Chains A and B, each alone.
Chain A
Amino acid sequence: MENIIVKVRDLHKSFRDIKVLEGVNIDIEEGKVTTIIGKSGTGKSVLLKNIIGIMKPEKGEIFFKDIDITKLSDHKLLEIRKNIGYLFQDAALFDFMNVEENITFPLVEQLGIKDGKLLKERVGKLLELVELPGIEKKFPSELSGGMRKRVGLARAIAVEPKIVLFDEPTTGLDPILAESINTLIMKVNKELGMTCVVISHDIASTFRRADKVALLYDGTIQFFGEPAKAVISDHPVLKQFISNSFRPLGKE
């Protein structure tokens, strides 16, 4: 059995009377790219937010390594979160801080690095990695959507977490920018060795790059496996996803 870094068991989450997750089970393998697909509003972001512990499930267990994070106190949960990076859909950069301060934030707060020279060096390297050198002093309001996402990625991986969760990293971007973000995700996975969990509607890219694909539908994971198996799967929703994504324009 492969090395499992995150294990979700029978996860339930609802908002008022609306049940969003109704018994989700999924295993995230260490060092791999797992992509979660599903229709909008099916609870993909909710699943990620439960994994990192900023949402609490009503029922179920989420294991990071062998620790059930649903049973942890807030204080202990903060310790677990040091191993997890998170890229939000809109990057969620702190608008009162410039790019440099945004990226140094987790380095200072989580790792306690106070050495200004070291922090500058780390920020420079991270910005080079995301192909945005020299924008340290810019504020988020001065950046485009794609730049914000790349700065958000630099911040998410600044402390070298074991796993990075990407919440729709390519949504709202043009195909070229989306491709550059997808390339960066692969770089994070292959070069830095981080486990990546990606929520994506970019099916073509998902099937090219992901090691595992999960389909979240009706509150549960209805398919989980290699992309090659997904292509030949009989699951009607999965088939619909795949056929719509690969159908040439104008063909019904």
Chain B
Amino acid sequence: MIFFEKIGNFLIRAFNDVSKYIAFTYQCLFYMFAPPYRFGQVADHTERIGIQSIVIVALSTFTTGMILSLQLINIMRLFGAESFAGAGVAISMSRELAPVITAIVLIAKNGSSMTAEIGSMKVTEQIDAMETMAVSPVRYLVIPRIFASLMVFPALTALANVVGIYGGYFVANTSAMINSTSYMHTMYFWVDPEDIWTGLVKAFFFGFIVTTICCYHGLKTKGGAKGVGEATTTAVVISTVAILIADYIMTYIFINFFGL
């Protein structure tokens, strides 16, 4: 009986949380289309989320491209089609891996800090102070971060595509000794523009999802330092799962509704 009660309570809490998150995203969407815009803050956050994440995103996707290339060459060699690894790496990177890995890296590096920063402001009454001064914390703290993420996620995904594909090319050339011309030729032949832009569209939505989830958890932080820690962990876990679910849904829509 206690088991079912716990499940029931969990479901009620989850339903309440999802409802509140949806209301929060509506509020964000409303403020996104309501000037004034804080360009200075957007630039600051773009620098923090974007420029300062270039190295870690490049490093993560370069190694991912290398691993993917190694695996694909190993499998395709069984069929004598190892030169097709170039196409395999490029399509996998641009459609799935670049946007997802970039998002996961940015969740770990920036999403967590968004929750922790806003959460510590919440527990030290700085958010309340902002409200008492007739300033909406969503408008002041969340919207500039959303705009920055909407630019940074696709931009870093584009970078991840290039670096990841080069990582694959590097392995194919150096350790697998695949002819670079045939590797590049199959890549150019099989990779279409929609492979690239569907990945960038995903990254754009991931930017919105990650930022809203992380800021939402920051704003609803309770308690002291422990509360900030818990909110940060929850935000990182939920946003990671959310982008994987969103990735599946968007992939399904691109394939089944747009034939991409």
Residues on A lying within 8 angstroms of B by beta carbon are 49, 52, 54, 74, 78-79, 81-82, 84-86, 88-90, 92-95, 105-106, 109-110, 155, 159
Contact = CB atoms under 8 A, between A and B. Distances in A.
A162 B237 CA distance: 46
A3 B210 CA distance: 51
A90 B131 contact: no
22 contacts: A49-B128, A54-B128, A54-B131, A54-B132, A74-B136, A78-B135, A78-B136, A79-B134, A81-B132, A84-B132, A86-B129, A88-B128, A92-B125, A93-B126, A93-B129, A94-B126, A94-B129, A105-B133, A105-B135, A109-B133, A109-B135, A159-B133
A49 B127 CA distance: 13
B139 to A, nearest CB: 10
Nearest to A107: B133
Contacts of B135: 78, 105, 109-110
A182 B125 CA distance: 22
B133 A92 contact: no
B124 interface: yes
B126 A92 contact: yes
A131 to B, nearest CB: 22
A158 to B, nearest CB: 9
A93 B132 CA distance: 12
Which secondary structure dominates chain A's binding surface? mixed
Contacts of A84: 132
B250 to A, nearest CB: 33
B134 A81 contact: yes
A54 B133 CA distance: 11
Contact of A90 (B125, B132, B134, B140): B125
B126 A109 contact: no
Interface string B129-159: 1111111100010000000000000000000
Contact of A92 (B129, B134, B136, B140): B129
B132 A86 contact: yes
Contact of B125 (A74, A82, A85, A88): A88
A88 B129 contact: yes
B133 A110 contact: yes
Contacts of B126: 92-95
Contacts of A92: 124-126, 128-129
Nearest to B36: A112
Nearest to A79: B134
Contacts of B134: 78-79, 81-82, 106, 109-110
Q: Which 4 A-B pairs have the closest CB atoms?
A: A92-B129, A92-B125, A86-B132, A78-B134
Contacts of A86: 129, 132
A85 B131 CA distance: 11
A30 B21 CA distance: 41
B106 to A, nearest CB: 21
B143 to A, nearest CB: 14
Contacts of B130: 94
A95 B123 CA distance: 13
Contacts of B133: 81, 105-106, 109-110, 155, 159
Contacts of A110: 133-135
Contacts of A90: 124-125
A110 B129 CA distance: 13
A93 B131 CA distance: 13
A79 B136 CA distance: 11
A36 B171 CA distance: 73
